[in-house]
Homo-oligomer: A and B are copies of this chain.
């Protein structure tokens, strides 16, 4: 049996199209971002290029969906790329040409899907790749997405359910897909009053990936995942979202600290509780009403990157990479920070108050790292928590963002932080 944890030995790093292109991503934009990664980011570990929602919807053009739209679909009720947006998919080639190009850059390719079977297939009573079964037979009459009209959930108990999921993941494997983000499936407690079981649908998807012949990272959305399901998510997925959609809003960033405090025990090889994409750089590029550079201040961006690093969240950049300014690029090319994210151990919170947080880990060289966060709206002095450093010894301290070094002769060390700012320090004896 394939070990699902081997598909994501460290937290996946890459780029996702949603924050900059919404549902309107095209082949051209996708490949431009891939080339930017190849040229600027690959050496720091950035690897995945992920095409987000509705690549099968010809008219999709922003973060807002066209309800009940006609979707591109093959004869087995499987959604396929819209040719007007992904010209290389013509002739039934799906995403295989794009995947090949990305692979040729030394990168990996991912796609987004909604759980379930297309509603249009159900209402057309279209066949699926299972003798004598139609889309109508496998659709659940109880489970329906609250925010998008493309799909019905699957009734996992009936014949054809397993075969349908197998048929789509085999197609993705043929295309060369390395990463699948499955949506409308992760915040399952929300639906607890109905017989539909998202857990069973997740298990079917796991099984379909295990049998598709190719390693694929399985990422589940949206959150908030509930901690009561932590074991099930760990057993079946590689990433799962801790919150609803994360955007460039301080309240959401502050709230993420509480979520990380709750979930840090689940961070392990192949299991990466997910703080969501990084809404940095140029956002909502093709949607005039919401187009902007990130609303986060520079201090807040440092805080965001530091938390995602020390918690070991997946790192999926959300802005349009070619539009990055120098500061934004510098956030992604700090080797000390990406190393913390990829290779640290003993990651855990030490202080979790409303106005502050302190996290710690051991870096790959065995040094103690402390991350100090000022979550309040005033200046704050935060001390090293008792017991984490040896009080008698002198330490050399390096700031991982500024590269400043200093010596402290005593563990009674403290840092002064402006509102929303943070520091990430390594302590050498």
Of the listed stretches A27-35, A139-147, A397-405, name the one at the interface; the rest are far from the partner chain: A139-147
A228 within 8 A of B: yes
Assess whether A1 is interfacial by the CB under 8 Å rule: yes
- Contact check, A227 vs B68: say whether CB atoms are below 8 A apart: no
Contact A1 B387 (CB under 8 A): yes
Chain B CB within 8 A of A412 CB: no
B residues near A228, Cβ cutoff 8 Å = 227, 262
Interface-side segment among A115-123, A175-183, A303-311, A361-369 = A115-123
Chain B residues positioned under 8 Å from A227 (CB to CB): 227-228, 262
Given contacts A68-B141, A123-B68, A387-B1, contact A262 B231 (CB under 8 A): yes
Rounded to whole angstroms, the CA-CA distance of A141 and B141 in the bound complex is 16
Check: A319 CB closer than 8 A to any chain B CB: no
A87 at interface, CB cutoff 8 A: no
Interface residue ranges of A214-230 to B (CB < 8 Å): 227-228, 230
Decide: A349 and B262 in contact? CB cutoff 8 A. Answer: no
- Name the prevailing secondary structure of the A interface residues: mixed
A396 interfacial by beta-carbon distance below 8 Å: no
A352: Cβ under 8 A from any B Cβ: yes
Give every chain B residue within 8 A of A194 (Cβ-Cβ).
Answer: 146
Using Cβ atoms and an 8 Å threshold, which residues of chain B touch A261?
231
Residue A232 at the B interface, CB < 8 A?
yes
A386 to B123, CA, bound (A): 39
Within 8 Å of chain B (Cβ to Cβ): is A420?
no
Contact B136 A68 (CB under 8 A): yes
Query: Closest residue of chain B to A266, judged by CB?
Result: B265
Convert A61-86 into 0s and 1s, putting 1 for each residue whose CB lies closer than 8 angstroms to a CB of B.
00001011010000000000000000
Closest-by-CB residue of B relative to A142 is B146
| 9 shortest interchain CB distances as A-B pairs | A123-B123, A265-B265, A67-B141, A68-B136, A227-B227, A141-B149, A228-B262, A68-B122, A144-B144
Enumerate A368-421 residues with CB–CB distance to B below 8 Å. Answer: 386-387
